[in-house]
Amino acid sequence: MILSFRPILKGVLNASMFDMAVSAGRNLLANYNLLDNGEDAFYWTYHPAIRAIFNAYFKLTVKGENNVPMRGPLIFCSNHSSFLDPIVVSAATTFHQLHWIGKFEHFVEDPIVKSIFSMWSAIPLHRGQSDQAAMQKAINHLNAGRCIGIFPEGTRSLDGTIGKLHNGAAKLSVTTGTTIIPIGMIGMIKALKKGEMLPKSVPVAVEYGTPIYTGDVKGRQEDWELVKSVTSQIEAELHRLVGDRNHI
């Protein structure tokens, strides 16, 4: 039933012309060199409302905010089990605007979602290959003092357990010397797991873990053993934060 309903929903969303309107607005802002300002305004205009909605609908609880420095750049690394995860983490993060690295397909295939991702200044990533353009854009954001959001598992978990982590987040951190903030998210697998269309109202918790510092090894991204050791630190902290509480 879900599989037959999805193409219909996609057609309805495409017919809404929402994406066309957003694209026209982005082009207009770009013509006046105001696109970055427009994206920032979009993010912070809707951030309080989205957080209030998530607080009410998911009974969102946030812990460990004292582990998050007030100033960027920072790399936020979370476990991943739901399509809504980037919105939940962004809503939970009070003082920082997050630029998420997301799979390229979201930017070309999914109606409305692709516009939201674009207006959030998210970074499209071609999965399964070395995407230097995405890496360079992330580096530019971090060098400008901004914050990046990454799901180091690379895809959503089907049962809530933490899968094998890729090394991209660790490499980005070592390249720039940017501090990593691990995030444990519990409950989203029950709220909206992969393949479902409508989220359930269940308690969701976001916890910021112990920061991982790489400032003293900045620029050593070609040392692959070092990069893998940072990935192992991220993995260990995610397991500590999540444990078996997110398993279904």
pLDDT tens for residues 1-56? 444 445 544 555 555 566 777 778 777 877 888 878 877 888 888 889 989 998 89
Q: Using alpha carbons only, give the angle 65, 66, 69 rounded to the nearest 5 degrees.
A: 95
Under a CB-based contact definition with an 8 Å cutoff, are residues 158 and 193 in contact? yes
* pLDDT for res 162: 93
- Angle CA(237)–CA(232)–CA(60) in degrees, nearest 5? 30
Task: Report the pLDDT value the prediction gives residue 4, as an integer from 0 to 100.
Answer: 46
SS3 94: coil
Range 2-242 classified under CATH 1.10.10: no
Percentage of the chain beyond pLDDT 90 is 50
21-30, 133-142, 213-222: least confident range? 21-30
Q: Tell me the whole-structure pTM to 2 decimals.
A: 0.87
Nearest C-alpha neighbor of 206 from the set 96, 100, 43, 76: 76
Burial classification of residue 107, based on how many CB atoms lie within 10 Å of its CB (0-12 exposed, 13-18 middle, 19 or more buried): middle
- Residues 169 and 173: their CA atoms lie apart, in Å, by 6
